[in-house]
Structures are given as C-alpha cells and as structure tokens.
C-alpha cells in the first residue's frame, strides 16, 4: 500500500475532493433502503456534499457555525456533516437515544444553530423542548413521513428543499464553493465529539481534520486495507469510533462504507455485505458469541460433539497464532480441518467469512473472549484509546496478540505512565481540548500530554495493560487494591451473565449485582421445563440463582488473589439500561449512579444478616409513563 502521510495535509472536504478526482467512479457509499442497495460513487458523494454546502450557505450558515446531527447512520449524515465542514463550520453528533432535555442541554452548550434529524422521532424530541432552544434557527429532516403537520412552520425544512437551494447555486457558485474548500486548514476544528459521560455530563471534544485523517493513515500502517474492502457502518455516528472510520479510515484508504437499512437489521445486512474489517464495542461481540452458542445448542448432537472437539483444538491453535508461532504439524492439520468442517460454515452464517480483522474498543474485553474468536477463525484484536485521541492510540498487531493487553502504540503515538500510574499519550490525533471548558482542557492536556484518566502499565514486551479508571480502582477495608472492571469482565464471559456491577471499595469483601442474559438463560430455562413470564420472573427463579452462583463460584476458584473473590451477590430484576442512566451511550457502567440508585440493595450486600429484601421496582415506558412493581430480591453468600 502506498505511503499516505501526505493526506494529513488535507482537510476532510479537500481529501474527499482528492478521492473524487482519483477514483470518481468507484463506489464510496452504499445504503440499503426498502430492501435494495443504492450506491454513491466518489464523484456523486462529492456532488452531494457540494449541493448540501451551498444549500446551508443559502440559509445563512458560515464559518465557525455549529450544526448538530441526530439519527441513525445514513449517507445524508455524511453529506450534511462534510457540507458544513466545507463552509468552515463545525458539525457535532448527538446520540439518537438521547432524551429531549438532554438534547436541549447539549445543543445550548455547543451553540448549535442548525439541527439535522433523520426522522420524525428525533424531530419530535426537539419540538418537545423548543422553548429551550433559542439558538436553534432551523431543523432539517431527511425522512418526510409523519412531518406534514410541521411543513407550514419555517423552523423546519425538508432536506430535499435544502438540496434544491444548493442546486440552484451550483452553476453560479461552483468557484465560490471550491474557494471555500481551499480555505480549510488541517488543524481547523471540524467536529465536536461528545465524550461518553461516564463521570457526568458529556463534554464537547474539539476534533480537527488532521486528528481524523492522521488516525486513518496510522491505523492502516499497522493493518493495511485495500480500496475494494467493505465496511458496515452500524455504530452510532455520535461515537468517535464511527467518525474515525467514516471521516478517517474511509477517506485515507478509499474503502466503501455500507449503511444498513435500520439498526435492527444491521446483523442481517452484515451477511449480505461480508465486510473485510469490523469495529465494535464489546457488547457486539458478546451478542454474536451468544448467538453462536445458541446455534450450537439447537443443532444435532453430532454437531455439538464436533463443535466441542474442534473448539478445544481451535483454542490450542489460537495460542500459537496469537503469538505468531508456528504450530506443530498435527495441530495445524486439526485446526484446518475444524475450520473447514465446523467454523467456516458457522462464521459464514453470521457474515464474517471475508473478515480479515475485527477490532473491539470502548471498554475492556475478557481474555477468554479473544481466545474464543481466534479459535473459530475470527481475527479479533483489542484497541485502546479515547474520544480525545480520535478513538485509537494502541492496538494489537497480527501475531502479537496478548489477551490481557491492548497492544502497542500506533505509529507517531508516544506513551508513558505517570508517577501516579496514569496512562499518558501524545499524538497528532490528540484533540485541541474541550469546547468552552478551558479549565478541563488544562487538566486534560497538562504538560503537553493527554491524560487518559486510566490506570495502567507497560509490560516487558512493550504492550500496554489497562487496569481501570484511576478514579474507579478500589481498595478494600484492608487496603488491598482490585479493579472492578477486571472482575466484571471475568463475570461477563459466562454465557449466562449479561452485565455485572462490582462493589467493595473500603468494604470487607467484594460484592456484585448481576444481570442475567435473557436470551441464553431463557433458552436454558425452556430446555429444563422451567416456565416464566417476564425478565423479572426469570431472574427470581431459584434454579437461575443456582446456575449463576455456580458460575460465580467457578470464577472465584480461578481468582489470582483471595480478595478478588466475590463474597456476596444478588441478581437484579431489570436489565441495566442507558435510558435509565445506568449505562453511558457506549455501554459503560455508571458505577456511582448505579450504587446510588440501588442503595438499598448495596447496603444489603454488606449486611450478612439480610437474605432477602422487598423492593419497589420502577419501570419507565417509552411514552414517559412509569409503573411500580413489588418484588423480592434474594442475596447469596458464596463459599470462598
């Protein structure tokens, strides 16, 4: 692959123009709509951005103006984002799961004047808080269904109308548009990316064109991509991981981005595309693994026997492959046979047959999950970074994969560990800081190093090991240190456990609140004739409690140190949910919030005399209505 370092001298609109000139007829974007795939070439992509930019200029948008995007991933999201960037303006992504008041606060903080929404659901959220949006001059929507009642209000605009305004100026303002694109500088702020908000309200990280493009260039130095490669865009556009691929990797390499018909159909559409690389949060891979286990569990007994035999062979082979070592001839043959007979058809069913590399980030992943995917022939690798360094700073290399680490720094990335044990990084992909938060920016970039807020160390092989958030590392009553995230990941490798929250700071022992996996445990219960009605009912079954206790006991048996063992636990009656504030938008646990919300359960975990407790379970429906249900939570003490 040719050297791409020169691409970091472009802005994103300039790089789009360069791609258009180099390969005008190659497919850049592909979208599934009404069951059919529609393509955009690089030339069509650039023309859509040009028309969008001219339309935005016509309604008064100019340099440094802010435009927010809310909705599912569609090509129009990129047309509008890069369109405002071409004018010298700044785009911003907001999670489509955000609630109205949350959106209002973010739009006000970011000084947004135009909002782009994909459908009525997102527009209705803005209507609900319209009186709190004095800075918002117009709301542009892509899907006109359900929007008839808004068409007489000039606060709203159909995207097609914006296109018409831009098309009317294409002939007369073509040179003006190119001049605006030429004015862009690589170090201009082009996008405000919201942090995950693990410890509070999200902050707007000021990302530059160079941040994104440099990331795309450096990643592909480690893992080269071909222009013919395919990528499926199903991560939220508001997340840095998706922007990294859409703005950075795709522009730097010329690969094609594919947009699923809907979030719900993403895994089905993935089968049709057969992507060459994949990027996802741990939950994606945990879900796929559960689906694989269910397929095996439901298959004939011979298939199950063959799977159990070859998965053990695959795990042994994965140990050699991950370390870049040659396998013994017999093991190599057995691994090849297992791949041909069992794993190749299996991964073909889920659309991963053409996959050369899969990446996971956003949260730590249990070591066992790496071995599982490597065993079935999926080259899963860990990456580590944060919003403020454009998503990735460290990643595994092929043949140098250690499941307990996050790999080595990317090219042009420096790393060091502070005296307090905090991971510090330096790279051309580091943000300029937080929008309108100078004090937070000084803390973030103190000493010309990016302060991650994570504790870690560099091992003897040069790999970075991440322990936990500096603020989340806990010490028990004896002063012994442990990482709750590490223990949570160990628990979540069990197919029956979907989520876990570990406690124990300044306490005599470690305890846990556990969510069962409703799909896997539900199937387990059905196979044993255990009837249930709801998730709450299933969670309260004594047979399920016995199952989970056995899983926790197994993890305790393998604990490296005695104080890592879980002494008390309870099974939570509801799934932790981002809409209830228990998880961030990227699926991370908001531990302090969970502890405060379930304070009565937390207290009972540290009172050995309490074996059960009556609680009023609060549930909120999508229409805002709430209901309360009485249930009994049982507490279990493990034999350590």
Give me the pLDDT at residue 1, please: 55
Instruction: State how far the Cα of 434 lies from the Cα of 206, in Å rounded to an integer.
Output: 6
User: Which SS3 state, helix, strand or coil, does residue 140 take?
Assistant: strand
Alpha helices (H) along 192-281? 209-222, 240-243, 250-253, 266-273
Convert the pLDDT of each residue in 570-625 to its tens digit.
Answer: 999 999 888 788 887 767 788 889 999 999 999 999 999 999 998 887 766 555 56
Greatest CA separation for the chain? 80
Instruction: State how far the Cα of 521 lies from the Cα of 524, in Å rounded to an integer.
Output: 5
Checking if the pLDDT of 406 tops 70, the result is yes
User: Which SS3 state, helix, strand or coil, does residue 432 take?
Assistant: coil
CATH number where 72 lies: 3.40.50.12780
Checking if the pLDDT of 34 tops 70, the result is yes
Band (pLDDT 50/70/90 cuts) for residue 468 is confident
Whether the model pTM is above 0.85: no
Residue 491 lies in a domain: yes
Checking if the pLDDT of 139 tops 70, the result is yes
Band (pLDDT 50/70/90 cuts) for residue 2 is low
Residue 413 lies in a domain: no
Give me the pLDDT at residue 566, please: 94
Residue 317 lies in a domain: no
Q: Give CB contacts under 8 A, 24+ apart, made by 636-639.
A: 636/545, 636/549, 636/568, 636/569, 636/570, 637/567, 637/568, 637/608, 638/549, 638/552, 638/553, 638/556, 638/565, 638/566, 638/567, 638/568, 638/569, 639/553
Q: What's the mean per-residue pLDDT of the chain?
A: 91
Checking if the pLDDT of 32 tops 60, the result is yes
- Which positions ≥6 away from 287 have C-beta within 8 Å? none
CA angle, 344 then 350 then 353, to 5°? 40
Residue 382 lies in a domain: no
Pairing mode of beta strands 474-475, 414-417: unpaired
- In this prediction, what percent of the chain has a pLDDT beyond 70? 96
In this prediction, residues 306-318 reach a mean pLDDT of: 94
Give me the pLDDT at residue 331, please: 96
Helix or strand holding residue 289 (H, E): helix 282-297
Q: Report the number of distinct structural domains present in the chain.
A: 2
Q: Pick from 583, 555, 69: which is nearest to 282 by CA?
A: 583
Give me the pLDDT at residue 21, please: 96
Q: Pick from 85, 114, 93: which is nearest to 209 by CA?
A: 85
The lowest-confidence range among 183-187, 265-269, 580-584 is 580-584
Strand partners, 637: 568
Convert the pLDDT of each residue in 515-551 to its tens digit.
Answer: 999 988 999 999 899 999 999 999 999 999 999 999 9
Band (pLDDT 50/70/90 cuts) for residue 317 is very high
DSSP 479-528: --EE-HHHHHHHHHTSTTEEEEEEE-TTSSSEEEEEEE-HHHHHHHHHHT
CATH number where 629 lies: 3.30.300.30
**Last residue of one domain, picked from the residues 272, 287, 315:** 272
The residue count of the chain comes to: 640
Instruction: State how far the Cα of 109 lies from the Cα of 203, in Å rounded to an integer.
Output: 9
**Last residue of one domain, picked from the residues 272, 299, 333:** 272
Residue 430 lies in a domain: no
Convert the pLDDT of each residue in 213-239 to its tens digit.
Answer: 999 999 999 999 999 999 999 889 999
Residue 236 CA, distance from chain mean position: 7
**When comparing pLDDT for 475 and 211, which is higher?**
211
**When comparing pLDDT for 288 and 86, which is higher?**
86
For residue 73, what are the domain limits?
Answer: 5-272
Give me the pLDDT at residue 291, please: 81
Residue 454 lies in a domain: no
What letters, b where the CB count within 10 A reaches 16 and e where it falls short, cover 251-277? bbbbbbbbbbbeeeebbebbeebebbb
Residue 320 lies in a domain: no
User: Which SS3 state, helix, strand or coil, does residue 258 take?
Assistant: strand
Band (pLDDT 50/70/90 cuts) for residue 377 is very high
Residue 219 lies in a domain: yes
**Last residue of one domain, picked from the residues 237, 257, 272:** 272
Give me the pLDDT at residue 129, please: 96
């Amino acid at each position: 692959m040719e050297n791409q370092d020169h691409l970091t001298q472009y802005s994103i609109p300039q790089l789009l123009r360069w791609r258009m000139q180099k390969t005008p007829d190659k497919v850049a974007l592909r979208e599934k709509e009404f069951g059919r795939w529609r393509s955009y070439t690089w030339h069509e992509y650039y023309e859509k951005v040009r028309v969008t930019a001219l339309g935005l200029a016509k309604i008064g948008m100019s340099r440094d103006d802010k435009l927010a995007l809310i909705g599912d991933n569609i090509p129009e999201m990129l047309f509008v984002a890069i369109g405002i960037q071409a004018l010298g303006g700044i785009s911003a992504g907001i999670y489509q799961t955000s609630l109205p008041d949350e959106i209002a606060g973010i739009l006000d903080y970011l000084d947004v004047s135009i909002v782009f929404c994909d459908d009525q659901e997102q527009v209705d959220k803005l209507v609900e808080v319209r009186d709190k949006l004095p800075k918002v001059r117009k709301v542009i929507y892509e899907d006109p269904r359900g929007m008839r009642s808004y068409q007489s209000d000039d606060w709203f605009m159909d995207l097609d109308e914006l296109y018409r305004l831009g098309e009317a100026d294409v002939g007369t303002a073509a040179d003006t548009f190119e001049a605006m694109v030429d004015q862009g500088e690589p170090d201009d702020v082009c996008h405000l990316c919201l942090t995950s908000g693990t410890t509070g309200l999200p902050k707007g990280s000021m990302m530059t064109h160079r941040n994104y493009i440099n990331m795309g260039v450096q990643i592909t130095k480690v893992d080269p991509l071909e222009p013919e490669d395919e990528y499926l865009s199903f991560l939220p556009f508001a997340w840095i991981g998706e922007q990294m691929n859409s703005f950075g990797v795709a522009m730097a390499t010329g690969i094609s981005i594919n947009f699923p018909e809907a979030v719900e159909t993403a895994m089905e559409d993935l089968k049709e595309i057969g992507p060459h690389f994949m990027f996802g949060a741990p939950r994606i891979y945990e879900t796929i693994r559960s689906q694989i286990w269910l397929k095996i569990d439901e298959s004939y007994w011979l298939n199950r026997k063959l799977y159990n035999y070859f998965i053990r062979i695959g795990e042994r082979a994965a140990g050699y492959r991950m370390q870049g070592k040659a396998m013994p001839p017999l093991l190599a043959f057995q691994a090849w046979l297992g791949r041909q007979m069992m794993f190749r058809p299996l991964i073909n069913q889920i659309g991963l047959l053409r996959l050369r590399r899969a990446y996971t980030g956003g949260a730590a992943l249990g070591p066992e999950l790496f071995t599982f995917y490597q065993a079935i022939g999926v080259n899963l690798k860990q990456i580590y970074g944060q919003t403020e360094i454009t998503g990735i700073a460290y990643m595994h290399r092929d043949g140098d994969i250690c499941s307990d680490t996050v790999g080595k720094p990317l090219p042009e990335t420096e790393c060091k560990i502070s005296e307090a044990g905090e991971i510090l990084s330096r790279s051309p992909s580091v943000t300029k800081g937080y929008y309108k938060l100078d004090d937070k920016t000084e803390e973030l970039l103190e000493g010309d190093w990016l302060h991650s807020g994570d504790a870690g160390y560099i091992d003897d092989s040069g790999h970075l090991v991440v322990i936990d958030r500096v603020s989340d590392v806990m010490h028990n009553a004896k002063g012994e240190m442990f990482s709750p995230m590490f223990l949570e990941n160990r628990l979540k490798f069990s197919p029956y456990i979907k989520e876990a929250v570990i406690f124990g700071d300044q306490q005599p022992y470690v305890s846990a609140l556990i969510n069962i996996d409703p799909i896997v445990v539900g199937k387990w219960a059905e196979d044993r004739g255990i009837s249930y009605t709801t998730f709450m009912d299933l969670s309260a079954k004594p047979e399920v409690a016995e199952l989970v206790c056995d899983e926790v006991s197994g993890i305790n048996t393998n604990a490296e140190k005695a104080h890592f063992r879980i002494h008390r636990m309870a099974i939570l009656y509801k799934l932790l949910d981002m809409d209830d504030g228990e998880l961030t938008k990227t699926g991370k646990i908001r531990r302090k919030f969970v502890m405060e919300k379930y304070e009565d359960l937390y207290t009972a975990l540290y009172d050995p005399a309490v074996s059960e407790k009556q609680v009023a379970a609060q549930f909120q429906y999508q229409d805002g209505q709430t209901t309360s249900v009485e249930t009994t939570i049982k507490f279990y003490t493990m034999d350590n």
